[in-house]
Structure 1
Amino acid sequence: MTRASDMFSREFRLPDLGEGLTEAEIVRWLVQVGDVVAVDQPVVEVETAKAMVEVPCPYGGVVTARYGDEGTELPVGSPLLTVAVGAPSSTAPGAGAAVPGAAALGAAVSGTRTSGGEDEGSGNVLVGYGTQAPAARRRRVRPPAPGAAAGHRSPGTPSSVDRTAAAPPAGPATPVRRPVREEPPPVDGDGSGRRADGPVPVISPLVRRLARENGLDLRQLAGSGPDGLITRADVEHALRTGVSAQSAPSAVRPPQSPTGAPAPATTAPARASGTRVPLKGVRGAVADKLSRSRREIPDATCWVDADATELTRARRRMNEAGGPKISLLALLARICTSALARFPELNSTVDADAREVVRLDEVHLGFAAQTERGLVVPVVKGAHTRDTESLSAEFARLTEAARTGTLTPADLTGGTFTLNNYGVFGVDGSTPIINHPEAAMLGVGRIVPKPWVHEGELAVRQVVQLSLTFDHRVCDGGTAGGFLRYVADCVEQPAVLLRTL
């Protein structure tokens, strides 16, 4: 029987999920305390600003503690689980308490140990996120002596349900004590409670911007993160409890008017009553990106009506001929890649720091998809190398993944141009916001029968409105107009595409 002396604990922390993500929200635990887990078994489902993913644990053993309830938002590096795994064969005298679930532990931990008996991670790295073994061996830190002052609780502290399970599996029972929050650091002369000669430590730039936009002085807050780090939860709690810019110390410089004189004092507006929906996860990421686009990109929009009768007929004949079905979106995407080959200025991005326009060699085509979790923009990689059938299949795959919430961060990043088919909502036109840091977006309205002059006579034709929103820094109106006119010509006469096939 595996005994407590034959085991030791490994702490699994929230891994770096890639693409600059700094935090994730626990959506659903897949294991309970006391469960036996195998190497690389998914243990928790988390939602990031990019997607919802299952996180695998690199250790096999018995779960002795879980950190964070469902709905809790944790920064990268925070503890997720403590797992009791097999230890080297030495046995301490007198150890006798068996570990729960130890009967099935041998098979679970077999993949976690090297020939020398040292515990290792699985080493697996998934697309956009994953687990890996530590870069070097680390000495285990002795637990603090009894009576040592307890630190403040970090976001990774076990919940009240699981706290008892985190105790050592053997030894005399000791009363469970709740962690005591440390007192704030000594107050400086300005009364702020923080040093005035350095930046305030925050978990991410998003936290600093959230505080700035709400007039909140971060020096007034005591962070709940490791080493007093201020988290988003700290800022949101301060805003809920009424802490505002008025509580800032007098040493803070008052706002200045354009002439240099102090601006008139203003009082913080009363917080409106009603249902509050937090901007986090995918919805929060979309809000941040759209706001940044509006701040940084000088955009302009041009549009044109086009007769899509021949395009819809061509699609119908393709599908009647057999083989995989071709979607209208795939035909429009093929037209876009052909147009971008003629007008490469629109497949670019702006490096504002270097004051350069970077024209990109590859077309990674994003398309807007509305889901229950909000708007997402999956990306078809290498769209310029795909034919219409391949584009149609990839659109179908990514659309299904978006609906089921299984898109990976890699599926949602790296776009260079976006196709927005807002016609599915029954609208004719729109002036969309560019998907930062791209330089342009093509919008497609609904295709509806309208009176149209065709070959000199009035007829009822299938008409669609096309719009192009572009970054005016990368090109002028002539280039944008030429791109949109070429797209419209291909919609009206699909045979135009034969020149580039």
Structure 2
Amino acid sequence: MTATAARQVFRLPDLGEGLTEAEIVEWKVAPGDTVEIDQIVVEVETAKAAVEVPVPYAGTVLRLHADAGAVLAVGEPLIEIGSATVPPETSTGEDPAAARYREEERAGSGNVLIGYGTAPASPTRRRRSPHPKSPQPTSAPALTPAPTPAPAPTSAPAPTSAPAPATGPSSSGGPERAARVISPLVRRMAREHGVDLTAILPTGPHGVILRRDVEHALATPAPAAVTPAAPTTPPPGPATTNPGAFTALTAERIPLRGVRRAVADKLTRSRTEIPDATTWVDADATDLLATRDTLRRTSPDLGIGLLALLARACVAALRRFPELNSSVDTARAEIVRHGHINLGFAAQTDRGLVVPVVRDAHLMTTAQLAAELTRLTTLARSGGLPPAALTGGTFTLNNYGVFGVDGSTPIINHPEAALLGVGRVIDRPWVHGGAVVPRKVTQLSLTFDHRVCDGGAAGGFLRFVADCVENPAVLLAHV
């Protein structure tokens, strides 16, 4: 009986869409655990989405080849599985089956899962976790690293004890549940304020701790029984009454990875290649809001909101001005006008800004647009968007008014040719019916690629959208 003959090495599979690497977010198993075929063993984050990866083997986990936080290239060893009846200690690495094992490693697992190819890719750059490789753990590595000692701020001392776990899960077993945190911002907030993430009740999908969970823990005072009386009489002030009011300034370097890196690369390329220009106009959205309210009241099951109506206006405008539904093929010096409308829309999530794409939006009714916008937004915020849902857009709609701003000059989502931005809708004095009255006014801005059209086409597009906002009946001719 040889131990190495039963070993199988599963490598990081090809996740599609040209992705070459992924960051380990959380291991679902630990060495010694028994796994079944197609069992989810790890969650990784690519430049486009968080992905749960199944293993194509059954047996006992012998080794995890990377810690949480490490970045692996496609084709690098991910996890090692052995027969459940062969203990890992029996492996000497010297018996004749070792050569077969090494050949296995070089050839790849040979299994193909739905959506994943497991053949190793050509060698690519690999970034290691900033922490040195540690010996094999005996339990699953925690997703959130232990906070490193740092000098405490002298102006407003942070609480030395973690918030009480009264609102969270069991407080008796520390290692019983590893805190699930995806956002680096959440980890940093917890570290700066001394919050024990394992004592927080998560409200995110699949038990993920979100920023609001940490903020709630900071706003919830700890019971007096567990609060040590270290400072005799803390000075009164906002810092003691509201620990989350101010954040201590900390010098740090944050790796540009995952979604943030993909966004940075795309926006840099957009600014480098596209000679963009921006035009804007104020529009009276009073009647558009009234139309939305009427639809909500008469057809609440359709879920048609303001974003769906704006999407409908964009689709109608792109039919009239197809120049803006295009891209530039720089290699062939051609303007490519698309025969379909794939409408992207900006969605803010805990993992950063993503742009899901509504495919074939020109074939959908307003109700269908609303349903697809809701579905993609839900997937984006839960981290469940497949990479294919984030590519292939031909035009983008950005409702940055949700951030409380009036206007912006957004960067075009390369390789598209235009992006419509919508500011907040607020009461402003407006001339209506010959009198100055308060109306619901918003600012619309269009950033466009000056290579595909001139200001006349861009202005015509923006004016048409503004007319739809001010008089939604215009859309009836294009439904």
TM range (shorter): 0.5 to 0.7
2:75 is paired with a residue of what secondary structure?
coil
The equivalent of 2:42 in structure 1 is 44
Flag the 1:5–1:281 CA change in 2: closer, same or farther, 3 A. closer
State the Cα distance separating 1:486 from its structure 2 match.
0.6
The equivalent of 2:135 in structure 1 is 161
Whole-Å Cα distance in 1 between the matches of residues 110 and 134 of structure 2? 28
Q: Equivalent of 2:308, from 302, 324, 330?
A: 330
State the Cα distance separating 1:288 from its structure 2 match.
1.2
More displaced 10-residue stretch of structure 1: 392-401 or 411-420: 392-401
State the Cα distance separating 1:351 from its structure 2 match.
0.5
RMSD of the TM alignment (CA)?
Answer: 2.8
Q: Equivalent of 1:483, from 449, 461, 467?
A: 461
Mapped pair 1:282 → 2:259: yes
Mapped pair 1:441 → 2:415: no
Q: Equivalent of 2:112, from 120, 123, 127?
A: 123
Q: Equivalent of 2:25, from 9, 27, 35?
A: 27
Name which one, 1 or 2, has greater alpha-carbon Rg.
1
Flag the 1:398–1:282 CA change in 2: closer, same or farther, 3 A. same
Q: Spell out, residue by residue over 1:21-44, the C-alpha distance to the aligned partner (whole angstroms, 9 max, x if none).
A: 111111111111122211111111
Contact 1:41 1:57 in 2 (8 A): yes
Whole-Å Cα distance in 1 between the matches of residues 376 and 3 of structure 2? 49
State the Cα distance separating 1:366 from its structure 2 match.
0.9
Q: Spell out, residue by residue over 1:143-200, the C-alpha distance to the aligned partner (whole angstroms, 9 max, x if none).
A: xxxxxxxxxx9969x95432999xxxxxxxxxxxxxxxxxxxxxxxxxxxxxxxxxxx
More displaced 10-residue stretch of structure 1: 479-488 or 390-399: 390-399
The equivalent of 2:351 in structure 1 is 373
More displaced 10-residue stretch of structure 1: 404-413 or 332-341: 404-413
Whole-Å Cα distance in 1 between the matches of residues 422 and 86 of structure 2? 65
The equivalent of 1:473 in structure 2 is 451
Structure 1 runs not aligned, ≥5 long? 87-96, 102-118, 135-152, 166-272
Structure 2 runs not aligned, ≥5 long? 90-107, 121-125, 140-249
State the Cα distance separating 1:123 from its structure 2 match.
3.3
Whole-Å Cα distance in 1 between the matches of residues 258 and 478 of structure 2? 41
Query: How do 1:92-491 and structure 2 match up within 5 A?
Result: 98-99=86-87, 123-126=112-115, 130-131=116-117, 159-162=133-136, 274-322=251-299, 323-491=301-469
Q: Spell out, residue by residue over 1:42-72, the C-alpha distance to the aligned partner (whole angstroms, 9 max, x if none).
A: 1111111111111111122222111011111
Flag the 1:478–1:63 CA change in 2: closer, same or farther, 3 A. same
2:406 is paired with a residue of what secondary structure?
coil
State the Cα distance separating 1:340 from its structure 2 match.
0.5
Amino acid in the other structure paired with 1:37: V
Amino acid in the other structure paired with 1:364: N
Q: Spell out, residue by residue over 1:433-467, the C-alpha distance to the aligned partner (whole angstroms, 9 max, x if none).
A: 00111110000001111111112222211111100
Whole-Å Cα distance in 2 between the matches of residues 456 and 132 of structure 1? 69
Flag the 1:464–1:64 CA change in 2: closer, same or farther, 3 A. same
1:438 is paired with a residue of what secondary structure?
coil
State the Cα distance separating 1:121 from its structure 2 match.
5.4
Contact 2:401 2:424 in 1 (8 A): yes
Contact 1:419 1:441 in 2 (8 A): yes
State the Cα distance separating 1:413 from its structure 2 match.
1.2
Contact 2:342 2:395 in 1 (8 A): yes
Amino acid in the other structure paired with 1:161: P
Whole-Å Cα distance in 1 between the matches of residues 461 and 341 of structure 2? 15
Contact 1:346 1:439 in 2 (8 A): yes
Contact 1:35 1:63 in 2 (8 A): yes
Tell me the TM-score normalised to structure 2 length. Answer: 0.67
1:498 is paired with a residue of what secondary structure?
helix
State the Cα distance separating 1:410 from its structure 2 match.
1.3
Tell me the TM-score normalised to structure 1 length. Answer: 0.65
Whole-Å Cα distance in 1 between the matches of residues 467 and 397 of structure 2? 17
Amino acid in the other structure paired with 1:383: A
Whole-Å Cα distance in 1 between the matches of residues 253 and 119 of structure 2? 41
Identity %: 61
Amino acid in the other structure paired with 2:357: V
1:15 is paired with a residue of what secondary structure?
coil
Contact 2:12 2:118 in 1 (8 A): no
The equivalent of 2:68 in structure 1 is 70
1:301 is paired with a residue of what secondary structure?
strand
Whole-Å Cα distance in 2 between the matches of residues 57 and 24 of structure 1? 16
Whole-Å Cα distance in 1 between the matches of residues 461 and 360 of structure 2? 20
1:285 is paired with a residue of what secondary structure?
helix
How many corresponding residue pairs?
Answer: 345
Whole-Å Cα distance in 1 between the matches of residues 33 and 2 of structure 2? 16
Structure 1 moving runs of 4+ over 4 Å: 3-7, 119-122, 131-134, 153-156
Contact 1:427 1:445 in 2 (8 A): yes
Contact 2:15 2:117 in 1 (8 A): no
Contact 2:343 2:397 in 1 (8 A): yes
State the Cα distance separating 1:79 from its structure 2 match.
0.3
Q: Equivalent of 1:82, from 67, 77, 80?
A: 80
The equivalent of 2:7 in structure 1 is 9
Contact 2:11 2:118 in 1 (8 A): no
Whole-Å Cα distance in 2 between the matches of residues 290 and 154 of structure 1? 23
